Amino acid sequence: MNQHSPKQNFLLSALADSDFNKLSADLELIKMPLDKVLYESGMEMDYVYFPTTCIVSLIYLTEGGHSTEIAVTGKEGMIGVVLFMGGNSSPSRAVVQNPGHAYRYKGDLLKNAFNVGGSLQRQLLMFTQVLITQMAQTAVCNRHHSIDQQLCRWLLLSLDRVSTNRLTMIIKLL
């Protein structure tokens, strides 16, 4: 396998060959530096991202300026679910939590491919169910678990999504 391959993303690697081949010519490898903002809350989204070696956090921002991480995605999924679910913007912000690479794909191309059906549609819908479940578990954890338990959960979620035991993070002091 090359150093970088779309097949490093589990969602893309699970596609039928015919569906993968239709997408692969338009997938663009991009570097995902730490703290890169992929989109802001309410911003129109033009692309979806299929992480291969990075982790992206979905963060919900309140009107008062507070933020809460609601989900993380890495090599198991994609960023930009809202685009194939009928929207053009998201209520959350997407920020690179651990640097690496991802494949970027135009949102309008994904919408068209999704509407055809097949393995792409099935994989995206299954991933969306997983993402909704993760968000629900995160909400329960944030409400009912101690800070130590929340940290352990975050570390496990992050380590599941990287190929090493090394995490890079930014600590922002207020």
Distance of CA 144 to the CA centre of its chain: 25
pLDDT tens digits along 99-130: 999 999 999 999 999 999 999 999 999 999 98
Torsions phi, psi of 26, nearest 5?
-105, 5
Q: What whole-number distance in Å separates Cα of residue 140 and Cα of residue 146?
A: 11
Over residues 3-29, mean pLDDT: 95
Gap between the Cα atoms of 14 and 18, Å rounded:
11
Q: Residue 17, SS3?
A: helix
Of residues 13 and 150, the one with the higher pLDDT is: 13
pLDDT score at 18: 93
Q: What is the pLDDT of residue 112?
A: 93
Beta strands in 44-114 (DSSP E): 47-51, 55-61, 67-73, 92-98, 100-106
Q: Does 154 have pLDDT greater than 50?
A: yes
Over range 29-46, report the average pLDDT.
93
Kindly state the greatest CA–CA separation across the chain: 50
Q: Can you give the pTM of this predicted structure?
A: 0.84
The better pLDDT of the pair 61, 147 is held by 61
**pLDDT of res. 68:** 82
pLDDT value of position 1: 44
Residues in contact with 68: Cβ distance below 8 Å, sequence separation at least 6, in sequence order: 59, 60, 62, 142
pLDDT digits (tens, 9 = 90+) for 129-150: 988 888 877 776 667 767 777 6
Q: Give the integer Cα–Cα distance in Å for 126 and 2.
A: 28
Q: What percent of the chain has pLDDT over 90?
A: 53
Tell me the residue length of the chain: 174
pLDDT band (50, 70, 90) for residue 22:
very high
Name all domains of the chain by residue range, CATH numbers in brackets.
6-159 (2.60.120.10)
